[in-house]
Amino acid sequence: MSVIATPARQRTGVSARTVNRIVIYGLLALFALFYLMPLFVMLVTSFKTMEEIQNGNMLTLPQAPTFEPWAKAWGETCVGLTCAGIKGYFWNSIKMVVPAVLISTLLGALNGYVLTKWRFRGHTLVFGLMLFACFIPFQSVLLPMATILGSLGRFGVTLRNATGLSFGLGNPTVNLVFVHVVYGLGFTTLFFRNYYEAFPTELIKAAQVDGASFFQIFRRIMLPNSMPIFVVTVIYQFTNIWNDFLFASAYAGTGDAMPMTVALNNVVNTSTGVVEYNVNMAAAMIAALPTLLVYVVAGRYFVRGLMAGAVKG
Amino acid sequence: MSTVAETNIKPTPERGARPGASMRSRLQDALPKIVLAPSFAITVVFVYGFILWTVYLSFTNSKTFPSYAITGSRAYQRLWRWTFESDPPSSWYTSITNMGIFGFLYIFICLALGLFLAILLDQKIRGEGMLRPIYLYPMALSFIVTGVAWKWFLDPGLGLEQTLHQWGWTSFHFDWIKNKDFVIYTVVIAGVWQASGFIMAMFLAGLRGIDGEIMKAAQIDGATTFQLYRRIVIPLLRPVFLSAFIVLAHLAIKSYDLVVALTSGGPGGSAWLPSNFMYEYTFKRNEMAVGSASAVIMLMTITAIIVPYLYSELREKPR
């Protein structure tokens, strides 16, 4: 009896397992479609002609792929009243992102170093205050910052009239770099603090006994061992700053200094003339490419950064 | 007793003997604080100082330009009155109702979907390395790009509805993005699309951190897979739930760009969140005091969620 029963049960067990696996893989594939769909539609639309978009189906591949929408988005499409494409705004974003990321990362590294290896009374409070700054809704500082940047801009004009140089005061790109450094410090400090927390303090003590100074220890011991967290922080800051819209639209919302996100929003929401969906999609793809590229190349670090930003302490 | 006195006295004559060296060493001692000081000062001024400034403005009657004469809590009184003005709904009523709907659905669906996908992916899936990045990539996109993509996808004339019509399902109707009562749900869809993959990654990391022995022991005791997850795994994931909740809650309250890019505010401002309300009232409707008051309310909401969390996180690990 038992001899017969056992294989039978085993057989149903196997088939139930197979069904189970099929359901699991089916669900996973379905969700993969859900996540990929918008990107797919955006991509195929950006290679279609307007005629094909109006008559065709959004899910079909382009019949006669054309790069024209991309060329038009890059060099010809209208942002507001200027019709010179989004290329200028793309460079605006680069000019803003690179210094903002470098400065905030370096300051974060120094802060993290001090907050873990050179502790003083009240270091937790200092860190807590900086950390909370990561979470504030930026609406609560938007207006004072606008006022200050406005006065600095006026001061810059006075300065230029007097000396011929404005020292970057009133330049929207410089303003945005400053704003992103200020409001990015909390995150970069958090990343480095948590990383250096696990770094053996004995090494620092030994170096101190040997007479190494504060900066020597930082340069010779901490920095060479900080590569992974530098990558994480740079990627996190790059993605955040590149993708920012609120500060960009508040402090450089009009004119030639607009960053990419604001320009894209203007391109898409222009109400004049025929809406060129293919050009819009190409522009969106161009805006998305830098961060997507970073994600593809260094996804592991990207996820680690997000996690570090999520799991505090 | 004498030993204590000796060690106490000893440094003093040394310092007195070599004033140059003591200056240097004192500078060395202060150096860490000097290095940290600029960042801390920046934070104090540009975060906390500015918050106070915004609070101050909310008690003035600033319109287009800031005015610095305190005129009382009129801005808050107006917001309070608008809170109950539901027919026709005031912009503030719409904004906070939307915040409730969006906040709840966004957080709930992201948590549920994230956990579900993480559990599925944790079943020793072949191709996990390929699927994970697919679920997660939306997090790398800007809300503006997400908004543009979904705006196209949900447009009744071009997107999903049109496609299904062409496939023969002509009665299919989906125009939420143009409907003032439903537009906020399209923001939920796009928001969930963007963040749920990341929440999945958080849960997956949590699942991978669970001790395999506990699972094995439960299986030997005859627990079904469902019981295993409900009784053992999910309770063990509590810290992940908390972190994910914090992340989602503050993302939800800060959401601004997505509404702008996806709906341009919706028909008659019907997709506004408090962040959009603040921006519009401050910069477009010249009601700076009201805008500031709404910003203060947003800040207080986030503070109520974040401060207890940060407090416990920073306190838990005394070293």
Write out chain A in H/E/C secondary structure.
Answer: CHHHHHHHHHHHHHHHHHHHHHHHHHHHHHHHHHHHHHHHHHHHHHCCCHHHHHHCCCCCCCCCCCCHHHHHHHHCCCECCECCCCHHHHHHHHHHHHHHHHHHHHHHHHHHHHHHHCCCCCHHHHHHHHHHCCCCCCHHHHHHHHHHHHHHHHHHHHHHHHHCCCCCCCCHHHHHHHHHHHHHHHHHHHHHHHHHHCCCHHHHHHHHHCCCCHHHHHHHHHHHHCHHHHHHHHHHHHHHHHHCCHHHHHHHCCCCCCCHHHHHHHHHCCCCCCCCHHHHHHHHHHHHHHHHHHHHHHHHHHHHHHHHHHCCC
| Whether CATH 3.40.50.10860 fits B81-316 | no
Per-residue pLDDT averaged across B233-252, rounded? 88
How does pLDDT run across A29-41, given as a tens digit for each residue?
999 999 999 999 9
Residue B180 above 90 pLDDT? Answer: no
Task: Note whether A41 and A155 are same-domain residues.
Answer: no
| Residue A38 and residue A148 in one domain | no
Closest-CA residue of chain B to A109: B36
CB atoms within 10 A of CB A263: 26
CB contact under 8 A, A39 and B247: no
For testing the chain B interface, which of A48, A120, A143, A304 should be mutated: the one with the most B CBs within 10 Å? A143
Length reported for chain A: 313
On chain B, the residues whose CB falls within 8 A of the CB of A292 are 137, 140-141
Prediction ipTM score? 0.85
B66 Cβ under 8 Å from any chain A Cβ = yes
CB contact under 8 A, A307 and B201: yes
Residue B71 CB coordination number (10 Å):
12
Please tell me the distance from the alpha carbon of residue B11 to that of residue A106, in angstroms, as a whole number: 36
Contact A148, A201 (CB under 8 A): no
List of chain B residues whose C-beta atoms are within 8 Å of the C-beta of residue A189: 39
Q: Which of A20, A37, A66 is the last residue of a domain?
A: A66
Q: Are residues A144 and A120 in the same domain?
A: yes
Interface of B with A in 269-308 (CB under 8 A): 275, 278-279, 282-283, 288, 291-292, 294-296, 298-299, 302, 306-307
pLDDT of residue A82: 78
The whole-chain average pLDDT of chain A stands at 85
Asked if the C-beta of B117 comes within 8 angstroms of chain A's C-beta atoms, the answer is yes
Provide the residue type at A113 as one letter. Y
Q: Tokens representing A221?
A: 């011991």
Q: Could you tell me if A155 and A264 lie in one domain?
A: yes
User: A49 and A166: one domain?
Assistant: no
Tell me: pLDDT of B82 over 70.
Answer: yes
List the single residue in A111, A115, A288 with the smallest CB-CB distance to B145. A288
Q: In this predicted model, what pLDDT tens digit does every residue of B258-282 receive, in sequence order? A: 999 898 888 888 889 999 999 999 8
C-alpha B181/C-alpha A55 separation (Å) is 30
Chain A residues whose beta carbon lies within 8 Å of the beta carbon of residue B53: 143-144
Candidates A225, A191, A192; CA nearest to A207 is A225
* Cα dihedral A180, A181, A183, A189 sign: positive
Co-location of A84 and A197 in the same domain: yes
Average pLDDT over every residue of B243-248:
88
Q: In this complex, do B46 and A307 lie within 8 Å of one another by their Cβ atoms?
A: no
Write the CATH number for A129.
1.10.3720.10
Instruction: For residues A4 and A62, state if they share a domain.
Output: yes
Same domain for A79 and A38? no
Q: Between chain A and chain B, how many beta carbons pairs sit less than 8 Å apart?
A: 256
Interchain proximity A130–B146, CB inside 8 Å: no
* Of residues A275, A211, A14, A226, the one with CA closest to residue A109: A226
- Scanning every residue of chain B, which has its alpha carbon at the shortest distance from the alpha carbon of A22? B125
Contact at CB, A310 and B246, closer than 8 angstroms:
yes
Half-sphere exposure of A58 (CA within 13 A, CB side): 26
User: Which is it for the CA torsion B82, B86, B89, B92, positive or negative?
Assistant: positive
Greater pLDDT, A266 or A309: A266
Nearest to B46 among A41, A124, A141 (CB): A141
Q: With pLDDT > 90 as the criterion, what percentage of chain A qualifies? A: 35
Cβ(A218)–Cβ(A117) below 8 Å:
no
Domain span including residue A27: 1-66
For residue A255, the distance in angstroms to the closest alpha carbon of chain B comes to 17
Q: Select from A58, A137, A288 the Cβ nearest to the Cβ of B275.
A: A137
Number of domains forming the structure of chain A: 2
Give the Å distances, CA to CA, from B205 to A311, B164, B241. Answer: 11, 38, 12
**Whole-prediction pTM value?**
0.86
Nearest to B263 by CA among B139, B100, B144, B96: B144
Burial B81-102 (b: 16+ CB within 10 A, else e): ebeeeeeebbbbbbbbebbeeb
- Which among A35, A53, A185, A236 is the top mutation candidate for probing chain B, defined by the most B β-carbons within 10 Å of its own β-carbon? A35
Please state which of the ranges A9-23, B172-186, B188-202 shows the lowest mean pLDDT: A9-23
Q: Residue A89 is encoded by which pair of tokens?
A: 């705004």
pLDDT tens digits along A98-154 = 999 999 999 999 999 999 988 888 888 898 899 888 889 999 999 999 999 988 888
For B27-54, what is each residue's pLDDT tens digit?
A: 777 888 889 999 999 999 999 999 999 9
Lowest pLDDT segment from A180-189, A224-233, A240-249, B168-177: B168-177
Residues A154 and A269 placed together within one structural domain of the fold: yes
Looking at the fold, whether A47 and A162 belong to one and the same domain comes out as no
Q: How far apart are CA B107 and CA A230, in angstroms?
A: 31
* B122 pLDDT higher than 90: no
Judged against a pLDDT cut of 70, whether residue B97 lies above it is answered with yes
B50 and A145 within 8 Å at the Cβ level: the answer is yes
Q: Are A19 and A153 contained in the same domain?
A: no
Distance CA B162, CA A97 (A): 39
Q: Give the domain ranges of chain B.
A: 2-58, 81-316
Q: Apex CA A238: angle with CA A234 and CA A242, to 5°?
A: 175
For residues A258 and A262, give the distance between their C-alpha atoms in angstroms, rounded to a whole number.
Answer: 6
Contact A135 B302 (CB under 8 A): yes
Does A240 lie in the same domain as A123? yes
pLDDT value for A253: 77
Give contacts of B278 with chain A, Cβ < 8 Å. 139, 142
